[in-house]
Amino acid sequence: MSVREGVRTYLSDRLVLRTCLYLAAALGAAVLAAWPRASLEAIIRTGASSDTFTVVAMAFLVCLLFLGARFGAQDFSPDPAVQLPEHVRLTAVSLLGLVGGRASFAVLHTILLLLLGAPFLAAAAAVGGAGLTHVARALAILGAAGLAGRAIGLLSNCIMGARRPLRDIALYLFLVAVLIATFLVATAASPFYGLYALLEPSEGFPEWLVCVAANLLLAAAFWGLSILALAVVRARARSFMKGHGNG
């Protein structure tokens, strides 16, 4: 699927549009749940309700990780019957071009989701003592983490195809494992920590930038592993066809 075809198809698909509505509803609920109960004027003046911004940002992150993993695994595809492994077995399409096209569309689609959620994050920032700079940094962290989640979903699709629910269980377990390992091994790379510490004063190299770079590297690594997994799928298919033909 080319980027142009992907944009046209996904933006016209009802299921994909419903996911946008679900995202907006979830973020709206998070804003209402975390909205300060004290005087709004006093809150805006003092910026004393920083939890509002953090809670909404965390909710946004969970939504993007979930949607990214599901979109990457092709669960929300308008044509889920055509799975990547089968496509690779039956055609001579370039693996680099195939994964690269999906990665390019993933970037565009993630930007769309970020734009959709940005007003909710800005509203939370208005009462949470955060400025536009904090909102921009949060969106950068969210976008990078969403791409990493999407790359993990794509890798699961390349390895396991449409074998659900086994693939879904493996996908979510692996996603959670990566998030936990990231937090334990390199805390600064954890998107949850990055959002939590965003309003805290920091010294030295900006932690939010470390988080963005680390998650983009994770996304690139998992996309690279996806190419490798598809190469194995194609090699096995050719070996089987060759052996069957000789037989």
Q: What is the pLDDT of residue 214?
A: 95
Q: What is the pLDDT of residue 162?
A: 65
Mean pLDDT rounded to a whole number for the chain: 82
Summarize pLDDT for 189-240 with one digit per residue, the tens: 999 999 998 887 666 668 899 999 999 999 999 999 999 988 887 777 667 6
CB crowding 42-54: b at 16 or more within 10 Å, else e:
ebeeebebbebbb
Summarize pLDDT for 64-91 with one digit per residue, the tens: 999 999 888 877 765 554 567 677 776 7
Comparing 170 with 35, the larger pLDDT belongs to: 170
DSSP 187: G
Q: Under 8 Å CB-to-CB from 58, ≥6 apart: which residues? A: 192, 195, 196
Does residue 189 contact residue 211 with C-beta atoms inside 8 Å?
A: yes
Banded model confidence at residue 2, pLDDT cuts 50, 70, 90 = very low
Side chain identity at residue 104, one-letter code: S
Alpha-carbon distances of 240 from 57, 234, 243, 244, 245, rounded to whole Å: 49, 10, 5, 6, 8
Residue 163 has pLDDT above 80, yes or no: no
Angle between helix 207-246 and helix 166-185 axes, rounded to 10 deg: 140
Please tell me the distance from the alpha carbon of residue 80 to that of residue 155, in angstroms, as a whole number: 16
